Structure 1
């Protein structure tokens, strides 16, 4: 297992996030060697500037946190985020569409965003707290078929975050074909390691410093 810091997307997505807090997030990521920072799309240009001359990657959320924005608006948001300097996109699917079994529309939206961002990484948030086990299987399959790079458990703004069971289901479907990101409620090293042992490649957390300090 790699060092825990290499799995962490150091995250600040609160509605109240300020410029100084984004600066602090980026400075922490550089200091502790986290893999990436993850911010809302309006802060991408700012974070890119704060991360210059570092190896830390930059991820932006799209359609966050509800996923219910129009596909065209998500596509434009993703396009702008990449232009502003994001190398990774964390998008939220339209959960209501998925619940209505509009599978072609859900898949098409993912495909269009991936096409828009080109070689940049696409992580697709399925918000497992709102899904049955069967639905987690189905949507993981859709994400994989749509050409995304990662399937991701949660926004952290739903009724709960990730669970080990969620990841087990996702891993059973995607295997090693695409990667998995777990996020929401992961606040200590022991829990982080449990997810990694199940096959998670990235962990989204606002508790990254605590995780690596208590390893």
Structure 2
């Protein structure tokens, strides 16, 4: 049976519209969204015997975060600033993790006013904002206390007085805490290896997915 040209055109328009709407639904972060949960448990040695207090630093055993993965649909914004080797290693680690875990990742490159970029990232309604770059530490310290409903993960640096929604992952050679403040260790760009940055992303996201936030995670 041959279809009338008008019928074919109508069917084509309907299919295209359906595909468009399906694509919008899948990509529209403005719609209500439940925070994805953790798949897998934190291993022995990740947390100390006593629950960590706010702003505490924990020293988990290497690999104790390996079994933790996000359930489907995690929305993450990578907030980045700078183009040096440490930032390239950190952003590469976030992208690789997101690809491996099927995370819906979007990126915001901070401009001349990083606070505006942080606000832009928050207005996208992500489950988590991952920050890479020392230049973002002071702007984050100014913004995050007023937005406790938004979770942040800082890689390779930390806030001097993090609120409950800010988790950080540091190591010897990182740990920038803001202008005018001493770092927890001497800054060494060579320590930002792809392997260490990958471990930092996995350790940090494992903590956030298990509601262990507002702390600093120290890795080797």
- Under a length normalisation based on structure 1, what TM-score does the superposition of the two structures give? 0.34
- Which of structures 1 and 2 has the bigger CA Rg? 2
The normalised TM-score by structure 2 is 0.33
